[in-house]
């Protein structure tokens, strides 16, 4: 017969605490895998992009935008969209480089109407960039987040084990 969970039974509270620590730990480890995967993809694309085929393209949107959170804190960023043709199919992309930082300096560097050289992934022409190579700054953040979430997840699981053994 299953044990009922209630505050009167101290063993049921131990099980709930253990489940919370373990569940949170597993979620953190899954989050770390997400960041590690994203960082690896960006690194891989950045590393290979200088050797990708090139085609001509044109900047179709070049705007400086502002975004803010619910507290009113915000920042400016650039929205650069370019168009290019591969094998008769027209594509658009917004990747200036393989970092996730959208510096406002890109608006001056890539004004609307400017002709550009586009580097595109031959396996998937939807993936294209104006500046091949990779930014260590962008990859460092993904690796740092991956390590942080992994260690936090392991720590949470260890606390769950400690919590369980301390209360047995």
What is the structure's pLDDT at 89? 97
- Specify the DSSP element, H or E, that contains 83: strand 74-86
This prediction's pTM: 0.65
Spatial contact of 135 and 99, defined as CB atoms under 8 Å apart: yes
Spatial contact of 135 and 129, defined as CB atoms under 8 Å apart: no
Distances (CA, A) of 86 to 49, 53, 89, 121, 125: 16, 10, 5, 10, 7
- End-to-end Cα, the chain, rounded Å: 21
Spatial contact of 142 and 150, defined as CB atoms under 8 Å apart: no
Mean pLDDT by 10 residues, the chain (168 residues): 52 66 85 79 82 97 85 83 97 86 77 96 95 71 76 82 62
Spatial contact of 84 and 56, defined as CB atoms under 8 Å apart: yes
Tell which phi-psi region holds residue 72, choosing left (phi > 0), alpha (psi between -120 and 50) or beta: left
Q: Which residues contact 138 (CB under 8 A, 6 or more apart)?
A: 42, 98, 99, 100, 101
pLDDT, tens digit, 9 for 90 and up, residues 118-128: 999 999 999 99
């Amino acid at each position: 017969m299953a044990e009922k969970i209630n505050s009167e039974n101290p063993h049921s509270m131990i099980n709930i605490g253990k489940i919370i620590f373990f569940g949170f730990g597993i979620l953190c480890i899954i989050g770390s895998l997400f960041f590690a995967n994203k960082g690896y993809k960006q690194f891989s694309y950045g590393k290979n992009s200088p050797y990708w085929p090139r085609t001509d393209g044109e900047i179709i949107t070049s705007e400086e935008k502002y975004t803010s959170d619910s507290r009113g804190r915000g920042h400016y960023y650039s929205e650069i969209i370019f168009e290019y043709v591969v094998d008769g199919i027209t594509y658009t992309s917004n990747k200036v480089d393989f970092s996730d930082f959208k510096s406002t300096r890109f608006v001056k560097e890539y004004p609307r109407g400017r002709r550009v050289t586009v580097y595109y992934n031959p396996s998937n022409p939807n993936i294209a960039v104006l500046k091949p190579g990779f930014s260590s700054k962008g990859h460092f953040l993904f690796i740092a987040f991956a390590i942080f979430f992994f260690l936090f997840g392991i720590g949470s699981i260890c606390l769950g084990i400690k919590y369980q053994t301390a209360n047995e």
